Chain A
Amino acid sequence: MLTQQMLQQKNLLLSWAAIQFSLLLLLQQAFAGWVIAIFALLLLYRLLSVFRAKAAISLKLVNVLAGIIAITFFLQLQQAGVLHFMLQILLLAATARLLALQHLYEARQLVWVHYFLIACCFILHQDMLIAVFILLVFAVNLYSHYRLFSPSVSQVNWSQTGRSLLIILPLWLAMFLLFPRLPPFWQIPNANIASTGLSDTLDPGSIEQLVQDDSLAFRVEFDGALPPRQQLYWRARLYEDFDGRRWQVNALRQNASRQRAADTATDSSLSYRIIAEASQQTGLFALATPVSSSSNVFISPSGLLSSNKPVSQRLSYQVSSSLAPVTLVAEQEQLLNLRTAPGNPQTQQFAYQLKQQYPQSHDLVQALAEHFRQQPFYYSLTPPPLGSNSIDAFLFDSRTGFCSHYASASAVILRHAGIAARVVGGYQGGNWHPQQGYLAVRQREAHAWVEYLHNGVWQPFDPTAAVAPERILDSLDSALPEAQRALLDPGWRQLAILQNVRQQLMHLDYYWSVWVLGFDDTSQRQLWRNLYRHLPAIAYSVAALFSIIIVLLLYYRLTQSGTDNTPQATKQLYRYMGKALATKPPSLPVSAFLLQCAKRYPAHDVCLKQLTALYEQALYKEDAEALNQLKQLLKCHKAELGRLRRAIKNA
């Protein structure tokens, strides 16, 4: 049997096994480790049986196995969530089907389930490279689909495959552009992936660790020109609780009300769009005082941005910022930031001295900056360990530290001097790509600085700028001594070619996130509005295009009918039996084929013989009367011919 022959084909089974294996990899979030192992083993067994040309596993065994696995899936439904459960069941069904594949229709089902599963991968992944991989898997599935249906077992017609892809392309684009962006029907479970970026606790060493990470934190497109680097302080966290050693985000802030701030300030001198990478945290980034944002993010009164759920996929939002510092929200906030921790006696002493010398808070901060600048303070990625009175040890002993040390020490001094101060965590600067027009901010740009209360506004103060101005004006690399730069870049990253490839991939990824992922309902509405505005022009051009196509088609038809000398009788026959005649060997005459069919399907014998006789008369004798009779016969036996057509097709 033909079907058996096809199923025996190694490369079909191979490609299906490969597809399921990649699906397993892509959907691994949905599966427990042991399930992945079992699935992989089953697929491996299937592959082995292909190469050893063994028969498939017995159906009973497959059923029992699948039943057991399905029950365990069901027991873990609560844990996994409905979506994961559905993916699990579907992939289980596909794998079990592949193991016990016997009939052609089963193979067809399998191919369709693969399509569905491949589409499901996009729920969990939106990355560009993974999208390319998913497309590859899709192509393999399409190939197997063609293989399954192609009449000749020997080869797949690639030009035809290409043509069908070309035909589908406009439809695909139209679906992408015009299909409504529906909200998901199901809850997408949060992945158990560790969060990245700044944490809620600021240890003396936490930022040093963060800057060794070269991965992207977020990208920014500015509506206007790029602001000077000194203004690029991306605020992300406010650390207000100090226990003598580490800073923490205040509990009140953690559960801060998610109300959107009223658009009070009218001065919004900066407008920009941020595309944040997945961080599994709710905290987002903004410059100075954000005054308005797109609806998917919230602005807290203290000028911090957050989303309502952890950012598990790339998130894009529009912000307008005023460059004025953040204002004091409530009296309580001031009290919160005046609390001091016991310990660090030398620092307290130093703070009182400063306070006496400079009663004005502004002068005091200037003096502190001057102190950092004048005294031999060093900026280093590898500061020496500090003792229990860490601020004392840093200020008066080691004098070597990273931005968190300086920010922490400054905030403590200011608080002891009676000035409300807090440490701000975030990012400073970024990598500007002029050609692509975006600023890439990596984890490397993580930074900490200080805000102190002055005349009811939180004035920013960056002690690092006093110690290592290159860090602010240029980049971290230039601020560090030669020996420490190597710490930032492992050896392989220093290869120029790899660096370049990484850079290009990052740019591609940027376009992907802007044009594909960023195409949300807002952009879609914008598109509709634009379409509506240019409606007459579009209508005219579409009409013109259509008329050109119709004229071309007509011309083609006319020239064709000049050269197309298919006789009427044959045309009639093809009209009613085209699909059946498509299975005719090309060199076999039509009437001989009909007689063969008559022999093979005795139920249609009379009809077919009559048909053949009339056809021969009409075709070979060019008998007009016979042609008319043929037409009538075809019309009368339409239903019977339909049955015959199906019988031939299914054979």
Chain B
Amino acid sequence: MLTQLHNVEQSLNQVILGKSSQIRLALCCLLAEGHLLLEDLPGMGKTTLAHALANSLGLSYRRVQFTSDLLPGDLVGMNIYDARSQQFRFQAGPVFSQVLLADEINRASPKTQSALLEAMEEKQVSVDGETRALPTPFFVIATQNPLFHAGTSALPESQLDRFMFRLSLGFPDHQAEHQLLQRDSSTSRLELLTEQLNTGQLRVLQQQVPKVAASDALIDYLLALVNSSRHRSDMLPLSPRASKAILRAAKAFALINQRDYVTAADVQQVFPYVAEHRLAPSSDAQESRLSQLLLLQTPCPI
């Protein structure tokens, strides 16, 4: 099944050019059953990435453009009176899909934001006292404009925490952009993407992640890394939830790299993307200064 996963990766690389490491990290986030926050300027390919992911994994895909007047009901759905059957019928919102692209999440009101984040955490929604489970897998890709853009309300720290990864695609390099311009249209490429891995197989892969071995020495190193962020005034401390997320992400990363054990290098690879937005919510996703600092200051004896 890992081969199929790599096929997915390859086809994604053909759609989004020159961003192989971000694609691998996005897949890693999917395998670790986490949610992904993409922080970038408009037009960098965030939507394309989300769409391509859904297509190549054969997942149902919905996209919601968040605006300031978007209401929670618009997202999760609502009970509507059906005049014919004279009954209330639940009209499911876009949240009932396997891949949800929440575009420009920081434009929505906090109320709507928290409705989405609750769904992400609980994997279920409650409407009028009735609890409905969300489909599995449930994978949210939220995009966010950098905060200096007008008309945005920042996600609070507690909610940023719900996203396992924060990535930034960044500008493509010269060669990639050249290639991009030569091609006729990327949307056509998107449609060419076929299902390489079905939902059942993805499920199996996701279940393999916790089984990846993490030795005592490695966990000690991870704890040392996390601990170094505590008792410091220049950053927020990393919570146990964060350390859990780091380990899970590292395991998924090891799995993608065809290993059944986590190495310290895996931890170091995923750490900036898992930790930076928890250390400094308003930081720039591009540079991940604080997490690099922690990596550099924590000795790795193994």
Q: Taking CB as reference atom, which chain B residue is nearest A617?
A: B261
B2 at the interface (CB under 8 A from A): no
Q: Are B300 and A567 in contact (CB under 8 A)?
A: no
A183 at the interface (CB under 8 A from B): no
Choose one: A565, A590, A591; the contact of B216 (CB below 8 Å).
Answer: A565
Q: Are B213 and A589 in contact (CB under 8 A)?
A: no
Q: Are A619 and B302 in contact (CB under 8 A)?
A: yes
Partner-binding segment picked from B51-59, B107-115, B116-124, B262-270: B262-270
Q: Are B217 and A589 in contact (CB under 8 A)?
A: no
Please give, as numbers and ranges, the residues of chain A lying within 8 Å of B213 by CB-CB distance. 620-622
Q: Are A621 and B215 in contact (CB under 8 A)?
A: yes
Choose one: B261, B296, B297, B301; the contact of A616 (CB below 8 Å).
Answer: B261
Please give, as numbers and ranges, the residues of chain B lying within 8 Å of A592 by CB-CB distance. 264-265
Q: Taking CB as reference atom, which chain B residue is nearest A584?
A: B300
Known contacts: A567-B217, A586-B300. The answer to whether A621 contacts B268 by CB under 8 A is no
A566 at the interface (CB under 8 A from B): yes
Please give, as numbers and ranges, the residues of chain A lying within 8 Å of B22 by CB-CB distance. none
Choose one: B218, B260, B263, B297; the contact of A587 (CB below 8 Å).
Answer: B297
Q: Taking CB as reference atom, which chain A residue is nearest B292?
A: A587
Please give, as numbers and ranges, the residues of chain B lying within 8 Å of A621 by CB-CB distance. 213, 215, 260-261
Q: Are A570 and B299 in contact (CB under 8 A)?
A: no
Please give, as numbers and ranges, the residues of chain A lying within 8 Å of B261 by CB-CB distance. 616-617, 620-621
Q: Are A587 and B217 in contact (CB under 8 A)?
A: no
- Contact mask B199-239 → A, CB, 8 Å, 1/0? 00000000000000111111010000000000000000000
Q: Are B295 and A619 in contact (CB under 8 A)?
A: no
A587 to B301, CA, bound (A): 8
Known contacts: A591-B265, A592-B265. The answer to whether A620 contacts B299 by CB under 8 A is no
A586 to B302, CA, bound (A): 10
Q: How large is the interface on B (under 10, 10 to 19, 20 to 34, 35 or more residues)?
A: 20 to 34
B298 at the interface (CB under 8 A from A): yes
Please give, as numbers and ranges, the residues of chain B lying within 8 Å of A589 by CB-CB distance. 263-265, 268, 300, 302
Please give, as numbers and ranges, the residues of chain A lying within 8 Å of B295 by CB-CB distance. 587
A84 to B132, CA, bound (A): 101
Q: Taking CB as reference atom, which chain A residue is nearest B295?
A: A587
Query: Among the interface residues A567, A588, A589, A622, which one has the most CB atoms of the partner chain B within 10 A?
Result: A589
Please give, as numbers and ranges, the residues of chain A lying within 8 Å of B268 by CB-CB distance. 589
A523 to B64, CA, bound (A): 97
> Restricting to A560-605, which residues have a CB under 8 Å from any CB of B?
565-567, 570, 586-592
Choose one: A565, A566, A586, A591; the contact of B263 (CB below 8 Å).
Answer: A591
- Contact mask B260-302 → A, CB, 8 Å, 1/0? 1111110010000000000000000000000000011111111
How far apart are A427's CB and chain B's nearest CB, in angstroms? 70
Q: Are B302 and A570 in contact (CB under 8 A)?
A: yes
- Contact mask A620-634 → B, CB, 8 Å, 1/0? 111000000000000
How far apart are A565's CB and chain B's nearest CB, in angstroms? 6
Q: Are B302 and A616 in contact (CB under 8 A)?
A: no
Please give, as numbers and ranges, the residues of chain A lying within 8 Å of B302 by CB-CB distance. 566-567, 570, 589-590, 619
Please give, as numbers and ranges, the residues of chain B lying within 8 Å of A586 by CB-CB distance. 299-300
How far apart are A581's CB and chain B's nearest CB, in angstroms? 10
Q: Are B301 and A566 in contact (CB under 8 A)?
A: yes
A235 to B261, CA, bound (A): 93
Known contacts: A589-B265, A620-B261, A620-B263. The answer to whether A567 contacts B299 by CB under 8 A is no
Known contacts: A565-B220, A621-B215. The answer to whether A588 contacts B260 by CB under 8 A is no
How far apart are B212's CB and chain A's nearest CB, in angstroms? 10
A202 to B213, CA, bound (A): 101
How far apart are B209's CB and chain A's nearest CB, in angstroms? 16
> Restricting to B136-154, which residues have a CB under 8 Å from any CB of A?
none
- Contact mask B84-116 → A, CB, 8 Å, 1/0? 000000000000000000000000000000000
Q: Taking CB as reference atom, which chain A residue is nearest B262?
A: A620
Q: Are A565 and B300 in contact (CB under 8 A)?
A: no
15 contacts between A and B (CB under 8 A): A565-B220, A567-B217, A586-B300, A587-B295, A587-B299, A589-B264, A590-B300, A590-B301, A590-B302, A592-B264, A616-B263, A619-B217, A620-B263, A621-B261, A622-B216
Sample of 18 more A-B contacts, CB < 8 Å, known A616-B261, A621-B260: A565-B216, A566-B301, A567-B217, A567-B302, A570-B217, A570-B301, A587-B299, A589-B264, A589-B268, A589-B300, A590-B264, A591-B265, A592-B265, A619-B215, A619-B218, A620-B214, A620-B261, A622-B213
- Chain A positions within 8 Å of B, measured between CB atoms, are 565-567, 570, 586-592, 616-617, 619-622
Closest 7 CB pairs of A and B: A589-B264, A586-B299, A620-B261, A567-B217, A621-B261, A589-B300, A622-B215
